[in-house]
Amino acid sequence: MTDLSDWVQPFWKPAGWSSFDVIRALRRSTGVRKIGHAGTLDPFATGVLVLLFGRATKRSAEFMAHDKTYLAEVALGQQTDTLDPTGKVELTRPVPALDEAAIQAVLDRFTGSVEQIPPMFSALRWGGQRLYQLAREGQSVKLQPRTVRIDAVTLTGWQPPDRFSISVTCGKGTYIRALGRDIAVALGTVGHLTALTRTRVGPYSEEQAVQVSELEQWIPIEA
């Protein structure tokens, strides 16, 4: 049996599960109480979730610093309050005529050091509270932009007139929901993500990830 007292393992989070749903399931199946993460995923998103067991939780900053790769789908014309499909539509604007070349030209402007305002529905703290808690209470605060690093944004699919897919490789602290919002504005409209998958965290990809359907069989008890 595997000793989980200092263990790092990627899991594949399904849509509809929160990152902490995966942690709770693992606490039940392994008996290990001390489980941390190297960056959560939104409940609507899927993908690689790197979990840290036991003493490995002390290395969370090391794993959080890894580059990440995402696949995202953006729908233009409507912006939701959460910037994803779970929220309420708060802005609607016409979508201009676009083609692949025009979209990629805008995407190219979002590489390098980019100023990004985080979503209100996020786990960042403001005055001791999580932003998503304030947002659920109907409160809004004026957030300052933060500098994030985006290494590449590539168009991977275009479904005229209002939907496209992108691949994003970025550094820590980047919100892909906010990136989708900002790209839509740069295209002359508004938008939100309809799908999001994290395909890689540093050296960890789907090939190394344990599927949720395998959790009960993945029981290295000794920890």
Q: What is the rounded average pLDDT for all residues in the chain?
A: 89
133 or 112, which is more confident? 112
As a whole number of angstroms, the distance between CA 24 and CA 58 comes to 19
Domain ranges within the chain, ordered by starting residue: 6-65+202-214, 68-201
Q: Tell me the torsion sign for CA atoms 11, 47, 145, 123.
A: negative
Main-chain phi, psi angles of 70, to 5 degrees? -130, 150
Q: Which residues are catalytic?
A: 42
Spatial contact of 9 and 53, defined as CB atoms under 8 Å apart: yes
The per-residue pLDDT for 215 is: 74
Res 143 pLDDT > 90: no
Spatial contact of 176 and 168, defined as CB atoms under 8 Å apart: yes
Instruction: Tell me which of 54-63, 126-135, 176-185 is least confident.
Output: 126-135
The per-residue pLDDT for 222 is: 40
Average pLDDT (139-153) is 86
26 or 155, which is more confident? 155
Of the pLDDT bands very low, low, confident and very high (cuts 50, 70, 90), residue 135 is: low
pTM for this one? 0.90
Condensed to tens digits (0 to 9), the pLDDT of residues 75-107 reads 999 999 999 999 999 999 999 999 999 999 999
> Domain 6-65+202-214 falls in which CATH fold?
Alpha-Beta Plaits (3.30.70)
Residue whose C-alpha is closest to residue 68's, from 191, 202, 164, 212: 202
68-201 CATH: 3.30.2350.10
